[in-house]
Chains A and B, each alone.
Chain A
Amino acid sequence: MAQSDERTTDPAKRPADSFTRRHFLELIGAGAIGMAAVGSGVLSTEYLSPNVVKEPPTRFKAGMPESYPPGSVTLDKEQKVFIVRAKEGYFYALSATCTHLGCIANWKAEEGIVACPCHGSKFDREGNVIAGPAPRSLPRYAMSLDDHGQLVIDKALVVGEEATLKV
């Protein structure tokens, strides 16, 4: 019986679930296109994400401790950091970037608070949220003294609330 032969060329006489040469080639073709699509997707994402970015360094010098009077909050606009000196004389560095959507907050000396101009978030001088949509308090950055006694702040290192620099 020629009809039951697996190798028949007439598709109508073939069993429905048979794996034919056509299926095999279709699978190879679809696989190759799929691999090329995934590969070009991955490579495009890689291309779009720069390996080297020319961004300002996260570590910067903030001058001599004597230039900050006790009880002062000073905004470094360039670095987007508050250099806070408590009444007791110790230092800490607060991020000036609002934790809501990234605007630069300002120190309001007359009210003694940090206020963001964009959506009205308010923080106390310790960086804790007291009003507005900000979800987190302002992070503190690591602060140290270099060999010449200058303040050095590293924005890549976020430290806890207990971290202060006594000079």
Chain B
Amino acid sequence: MKESFRALTRSQAWRSVFRHGLPLSNRTRAEAVFYNFFLHVHPTKVRKRSVKFTYTWGLGGLSAGLFIVLVLTGALLMLYYRPSVQQAYGDMKDLQFVVSSGQFLRNMHRWAAHAMVAMVFLHMLRVFYTGSYRPPKEFNWVIGVILFVFTVLLSYTGYLLPWDQLAYWGISVGTNMVRSVPFGLGERISYLLLGGNIVGENALVRFYVLHCFVLPVAAMVLMGIHFWRVRKDGGV
């Protein structure tokens, strides 16, 4: 057993993936972190205070974890959901009552979305109360605020997709709020957002594309910058 493991770790394939030795010395332990894509974002030094669980409550990590849950369940839901006026509501009902585990995945997506809004908000409160927005981290606070807005926008665009009464009137009310933007811009923005004057086929497809592609990709880019800056500032 031990021999075959040793043979495996000495093989060319293994060594091309893990280019350092087993983490037996300080040097190889450090290399195990430096040469790993997922670990390399760790800061070179961490303050003892910030590792304490009750300092961060792990809220940023929970938000990111929920985002991953949402991406995975969302991708699965996309397999059965078609964003058209004729089919959207029926597809949503099929997911609940016909597709195996469909109800579970839809509920998981929905609850994770609710939880993510709550977690991001609590994370924001924590950062505020620990004063972690102070120099030199002001810009990361700004990115965080944009990420919070994206989280809310993702929830809002997802709200239309079931195409039920709640969705329809929710989006009608929301886009009517946009109409009150001054200088005649409101009407224009609302027209671009809905792809027309009413909440119809174009609006459904636009919200679908925003929900499944534009907003998640934009959020992922900002999350990358957000985490990188946290690490550079010695956070965890």
Q: Interface of A with B (CB < 8 Å)?
A: 45, 48-50, 53-55, 101-103, 118
Kindly state the separation between the CA atoms of A45 and B191 in the bound complex, as whole angstroms.
11
Across the two chains, which residue of chain A brings its CB closest to B175?
A: A102
Kindly state the separation between the CA atoms of A102 and B174 in the bound complex, as whole angstroms.
9
Chain B residues 165 to 213 lying within 8 A of chain A, measured CB to CB, are 169, 172-173, 176-177, 188, 191-192, 195-198, 200-202
Chain A residues near B192 (CB-CB < 8 A): 45, 48-49
Kindly state the separation between the CA atoms of A118 and B173 in the bound complex, as whole angstroms.
9
Once A50-B202, A101-B177 are accepted as A-B contacts, the answer to whether A55 and B172 lie under 8 Å apart by CB is no
Contact with A along B46-71 (1 / 0, CB 8 A): 00000000000000000000000000
Cβ-defined contact, B173 with A55, below 8 A: no
Cβ-defined contact, A55 with B169, below 8 A: no
Q: Interface of B with A (CB < 8 Å)?
A: 169, 172-173, 176-177, 188, 191-192, 195-198, 200-202
Across the two chains, which residue of chain B brings its CB closest to A103?
A: B169
Q: Tell me how far the C-beta of A121 lies from the nearest C-beta in chain B, rounded to whole angstroms.
A: 12
Cβ-defined contact, A103 with B172, below 8 A: yes
Chain B residues near A53 (CB-CB < 8 A): 195-197, 202
Chain B residues near A103 (CB-CB < 8 A): 169, 172-173
Of the A-B pairs whose beta carbons lie under 8 Å apart in the complex, a sample of 18, sorted by A's number, is A48-B195, A49-B191, A49-B192, A50-B195, A50-B196, A53-B195, A53-B196, A53-B197, A54-B201, A55-B197, A55-B198, A55-B200, A101-B173, A101-B176, A102-B172, A103-B169, A103-B172, A118-B169
Chain A residues near B172 (CB-CB < 8 A): 101-103
Cβ-defined contact, A55 with B196, below 8 A: yes
Q: Tell me how far the C-beta of B189 lies from the nearest C-beta in chain A, rounded to whole angstroms.
A: 10
Cβ-defined contact, A102 with B173, below 8 A: yes
Across the two chains, which residue of chain A brings its CB closest to B206?
A: A48
Kindly state the separation between the CA atoms of A53 and B205 in the bound complex, as whole angstroms.
14
Q: Which of A55, A102, A118 has the most CB of B within 10 A?
A: A102
Kindly state the separation between the CA atoms of A55 and B195 in the bound complex, as whole angstroms.
11
- Nearest 3 A/B pairs, CB to CB: A102-B176, A53-B196, A101-B173
Task: Give 8 new A-B contacts, CB below 8 A, not counting A54-B201, A102-B172.
Answer: A45-B192, A49-B191, A50-B202, A53-B196, A55-B198, A55-B200, A101-B173, A118-B169
Kindly state the separation between the CA atoms of A49 and B192 in the bound complex, as whole angstroms.
5
Kindly state the separation between the CA atoms of A147 and B198 in the bound complex, as whole angstroms.
31
Chain A residues near B201 (CB-CB < 8 A): 54
Chain A residues near B197 (CB-CB < 8 A): 53, 55
Chain A residues near B169 (CB-CB < 8 A): 103, 118
Kindly state the separation between the CA atoms of A101 and B173 in the bound complex, as whole angstroms.
5
Q: Which of A50, A55, A101, A103 has the most CB of B within 10 A?
A: A101
